[in-house]
Homo-oligomer: A and B are copies of this chain.
């Protein structure tokens, strides 16, 4: 009695198993398995009897048990920074679509830009034996994944490269994009151009800053330290940074914003000021074309990033290419007004 009660509360309710179905249909376990999996070699009559028992009992195969024997779990993990960030939604959706096409489910989790949490999440997914892992790294040391990869977990890094291990990586051309964006500002007459980016431990932030420096160097413009600011993307920090470089006699006449979070805050800061300042942002925003002036951006394709990574992942699982590759997707300059404002003086 106690045993039955415990069973009912601890286990999956008290779901019928193949054994229950077999008993009710008066057949062997294997026959039920055949029917459930639509395998050949069952007479129509037997099949009907089994199907009736399945319906009567409300049987649903426990895929969790199936997985234990089969090997593959038909699930992939996605570790990203924040599911609520509009950049990662489309990326995640794209990974999901590819997974779905391969019959796999997607488990995703947010690292909140915390390397410890990234590792914890990634390893928890490995313990669940996901077939593969798509990682947008928060940390810069991924040696903790080496045993997992060796054990057969397919792995692809997206948006930022893996740290200290060799792995498939899919990136946007941050360097080239930022370079093109800053060159665009220079072409419109600016020489005093500010750069506000994410924290320096984040690869894309560093690459975009490198693009900025390169464009400035190409134009022969010496860069002042006061024009560059890397740090968290919380509005307060970005606001302070923007206001600092927009003030005083050596104020910048244009700003390059390093990502979508930064851009949003910079747009707010500029909206409060009377003197027009040019702005180009990395990443497109939903209503960018409806702002006044329209927002000029370097757009990257988040969905394409996710799709490419997921396809790469399943190629690994299908036994394809085992040599890590680095894929870089192009960015695109979209001019809408804010980046074409001439210098104030």
Contact = CB atoms under 8 A, between A and B. Distances in A.
B60 A127 contact: yes
Copies of the protein in its oligomer:
2
B60 A123 contact: yes
B303 A287 contact: no
A10 B93 contact: no
A203 B70 CA distance: 41
Contacts of A151: 12-15, 58
A250 B271 CA distance: 37
B290 A150 contact: no
Contact of A287 (B62, B92, B93, B264): B264
Contact of A10 (B15, B71, B106, B291): B71
A73 interface: yes
Nearest to A69: B11
A107 interface: yes
Contacts of A109: 96, 100, 105-106
A291 B287 contact: yes
Contacts of A90: 84
A62 B127 contact: yes
Contacts of A93: 82-84, 110
Interface string A137-161: 0000000000110111100000000
Interface of A: 9-15, 58, 60-65, 67-68, 70-73, 75, 82-86, 88-90, 92-94, 96, 100, 105-110, 123-129, 147-148, 150-153, 264, 267-268, 271, 285-292, 303, 319
30 contacts: A9-B319, A10-B70, A10-B71, A12-B152, A13-B150, A13-B151, A13-B153, A15-B152, A60-B126, A62-B127, A63-B124, A63-B127, A64-B64, A64-B129, A83-B93, A84-B90, A84-B94, A84-B303, A86-B86, A86-B89, A89-B89, A96-B110, A106-B107, A108-B108, A264-B286, A267-B290, A286-B287, A287-B291, A291-B291, A291-B292
